[in-house]
Amino acid sequence: MQHTILAQGNLSNKFKHLSSPKNDNFALISADIFSMAAEIKTLTFLLVLLILASSSIAFADTTVQLRDSAYSCRYSEGASQGQLLGVGSKIVPYGSIISKLKQAITKAKHKEKKFDAKRQGLPEAAYAAMELKYIRAHRKRRESSLLLEQVKHCKFGEFTKLDNWSDALSPATKQSWDPNEGFQADSSLPDESAEVAFSYDEINYSVFSRTIHGTQITVALHKSALSGELFSAAEFADVIFEYLHEITEMHAGFVTDRFVFKVRAPGESDGFALCRGGVVLAASAVSDMGLEQFHEMFHSLNGKTYAPVPDGTQNLFQVLTLIVEEFTVYYTEVVEAQVLGDSFFAEGFDYFWELYLSYRGGEYDLPYAQLADYASDSGTGASIYRSMMNARGMMVAYAIDLELRKQGRSLAELMEHLYLNFGLNETTYSLNDVQSALQTLGGSSLVTMFNDYGVQDGDLTLLLGGDPKFKLPQ
């Protein structure tokens, strides 16, 4: 019988007598035992494979590109240190790259200081050339410093601090780009459609594209817009990418899957067009790498994505223009200094401080709501009332930011709060919402500062001193 033969072939001599026909039942049981043992072995093997597979999934390598550079950090979950990779995914020794970056920072810092001092007092053309040298030195130092910081995060296992440009942030799934969403036509081209305003072709435009935190950024510069400038279209595009990266990081995300930054041909317009996912500027806005109208990019979020409740006055400017416009002006100064040069921050603030002092205590030194009311009579045109709105709003934003940084926080957290809680939910915020957020961030003293010196007409010299030395908050 088959099962008897199997039993005889597998049992030791000690138990051969059990394989006689009268012991067929035992032989059957023995065969079943061996069959079960084989199955157990198979199941055990499969279980081991499953455990190994699950372990490999849990501790799979992750690779993050550092600062959009040639370097990346490869690490496993729970590891105390990552591997720094260079071109061709070759492992780079930490010592060599850290030493190289420190040398680059020292060299760029020396040049930055030298060019900043030399540009002061030069004639216009010479000033522009020296200013560009200053900007390039600053950008070299900044990029090397930020990359060094990222390399150290990789070395010391601080993987959550890696600046991963590919992370979509919030929302993870972006809204489809639509130029009609929040479209604001150029005042000099009031009948121009959103589609026409944001259109470009690659014959007449230099087009650059990069994806930053899940949003495809397109920079389209009319080829004649940079005629006579000392910098290239590619260099200018890199500045725009960096600027938009800072804005996105500040808000912990960007809402649309695309952003278009377009510069028109000279003479086509002197104004700008805006939508939630882009801005169209006049050629004059890019002169000498300046950022005269670049704060309009910030409005794609502050004003177009998160916006305040109207106060019922029907005025062009209202009390919460303090957040929409003045905090945007403040962050234009901040990001300009971060990307192009620290000295630009002090220069911008010195101008508005002198303006404030010249009208302090007079007929133009009014609570913000009254300034907004009078400024609305002049429309979008310049007025002393509008300039005093800028000055008061910028100064109180600066003071709040400094106070929050003493607590390890920053004013950027307010902007992030408004974006995440109102912008993404497509609801408007009120003055009370702003005050509540400030209370949470820094306590009642911060709310008092905002109310007394931002909303009301508190003497800003009591807030900042008579001769403040403005520095980029760190």
**Whole-angstrom distance, CA of residue 392 vs CA of residue 459:** 10
Question: pLDDT value at position 227?
Answer: 84
User: How far does CA 97 lie from the centroid of its chain?
Assistant: 26
The strand order across the sheet containing 205-212 reads 205-212, 215-222, 258-263, 278-281, 272-275
Is 94 exposed, middle or buried (CB count within 10 Å of its CB: 0-12, 13-18, 19+)? middle
Give CA separation, 17 vs 22, 376, 445, in Å. 10, 111, 96
Second-level CATH architecture of 306-474: Orthogonal Bundle (1.10)
Cβ atoms of 423 and 255 closer than 8 Å: yes
Question: pLDDT value at position 352?
Answer: 96
Q: Which two tokens stand for residue 312?
A: 């019922």
**Whole-angstrom distance, CA of residue 250 vs CA of residue 440:** 18
Question: pLDDT value at position 380?
Answer: 75
Question: pLDDT value at position 39?
Answer: 56
205-212/83-85 β-pairing: unpaired
> What string of pLDDT tens digits covers the 474 residues of the chain?
433 333 333 333 333 333 344 444 444 444 454 455 555 555 555 554 444 444 444 447 899 988 778 899 999 988 999 999 998 889 999 999 999 999 999 999 999 999 999 999 999 889 989 999 999 999 999 999 999 999 999 999 999 899 878 889 999 999 999 999 999 999 999 999 999 999 999 999 999 999 999 999 999 999 999 888 888 899 999 999 999 999 999 999 999 999 999 999 999 998 899 999 999 999 888 766 555 567 889 999 999 999 999 988 889 999 999 999 999 999 999 999 999 999 999 999 999 999 999 999 999 999 999 999 999 998 777 899 999 999 999 999 999 999 999 999 999 999 999 999 999 999 999 999 999 999 999 999 999 999 999 999 999 999 999 999 999 998
Question: pLDDT value at position 292?
Answer: 57
Give CA separation, 327 vs 248, 264, 276, in Å. 16, 27, 18
Tokens 């940079």 belong to residue: 226
